[in-house]
Amino acid sequence: MSVPTGAIFAATAGAAAAAAAAAKMRKEEEDMTGYNISDLDGWEFKIIRANTAKFKSHQAVQEVCEEEARAGWEMVEKFDNSRIRFKRKVNQRKNDQFLDIDPYRTYVGMASGKVVAIVIGSILMVALILVGVLLAVNTGFTPQGSMIMVVLGAIMIIGVVALILRRPSK
């Protein structure tokens, strides 16, 4: 069985859209973070990102600000529900060795690999269902045989996604 051409085009279009969205976010961040020399003198900056709308709630923003404050970072501004900009005095680096968090982390929440695993797992589940239906309609497979294949494939995909999600984020 060959892969439908529409699926290839959809995947390519999805990848292109994701790349365009990432480029737009980088450009937006550059435009929003214009610094002059006095802003930079003795300061360093970073943007914390989340792969979800984690910073939609005030509590989540407060929690990440408290964690970052342990490393001397101060919130400058919240760009949107997935990005917050921080700054800290350069002399705060001397305490980095005593921290239990990475002072230069730039992501919080669910790792992008886990988000990708969920998306790919979902796409594979839909593909399995379509394969089962096509087998039942176009071949001598019985509907029960097709559904058994779909269920076994779904169990395998769920198992792999579950393993990926159980691994701790780095």
Q: What is the pLDDT of residue 1?
A: 46
Tell which wins on pLDDT, 4 or 139. Answer: 139
pLDDT at 96 > cutoff 70: yes
36-88 residue pLDDT tens: 666 678 899 999 998 888 899 999 999 999 999 999 999 999 989 999 999 99
Distance CA(138)–CA(134), nearest Å, equals 6
Q: What is the pLDDT of residue 165?
A: 62
Tell which wins on pLDDT, 143 or 101. Answer: 101
Q: What is the pLDDT of residue 87?
A: 93
119-163 residue pLDDT tens: 777 777 777 777 777 777 777 666 676 677 777 777 777 777 676
Q: What is the pLDDT of residue 156?
A: 76
pLDDT at 34 > cutoff 70: no
Within a 13 Å sphere around the CA of 99, how many CA atoms are in the beta-carbon half? Answer: 17
As given in the structure block, the two tokens for residue 113 are 């690999």
Distance CA(57)–CA(81), nearest Å, equals 8
As given in the structure block, the two tokens for residue 28 are 């937006």
